[in-house]
Structure 1
Amino acid sequence: MCMVMLPDPDKDANEDIYAGGFYQKFRSLLAFSIKYRVMFMGAMVGLLFLSVLGFRYVPVLFFPEYSRLQVMIDYWEPEGNRIEQVASHLQGIEDKLLTLSQVESVSSFIGQGPPRFLFAGKP
């Protein structure tokens, strides 16, 4: 059955796959880099230094300011407890948290995590 599933071998299997234009250009670039290795390494160190200096001008906006104050509490009970019991305990915790003046809302998730992506903007 394996012989039926296997494809026929290529007739030109002896052909050099690295004879193409891309590999020839890469080979010549590699040969140049090895031949002039001191100049090449100097250029790389110079580019590294230039990039470190250039980072001063890149604004730090990768993580925007998060204007919503949020706290996450992981609540665990011993393995084997009924989910209804866990839900009633969480309801008591939610009720207690909602009595605090600083708490505006509470969400609980049983058996799974919260949504991975939340809209962080102002409503």
Structure 2
Amino acid sequence: MIPKYLLPSYFKSIGLILFLLSLIGHLIYGYFYFLLFTAVAFFGLFLIASSREKIEDEMIQDIRLKSLQTAVFLQVVFILGFTLIDNWRGEGFVNLPIPAVLVGILFIAVYLAVFYYQLYFKQDEE
């Protein structure tokens, strides 16, 4: 089954441009516009993750599923670990918006890393 809710493949380029612009903006302006550039980076990664491949078949669908499962597992580990460390240290950083944004970016970044690793590198091993 090919998913219906994926964006066209050219959104991958738009997402990459947005992500790179947010990285450059963060390097230039630093922490002053941190949440703005982080939101733009998150949106760029979202566009990359939700765009189709040029050839969308069952193998790509299986790779998407495995990547999503890995990203969910690592996100749960990150959230639990961050919460345990925060409670152990007693500093109360959980109320800040930064960990929530980092969890979102980490989730999509892990998904994309696993997806493209399995798509381009793991395929050569088989």
TM-score norm. by structure 1 comes to 0.21
More helix by share: 2
**Highest RCO, 1 vs 2 (Cα 8 Å, sep ≥ 6):** 2
TM-score norm. by structure 2 comes to 0.21
User: Max radius of gyration: which structure?
Assistant: 1
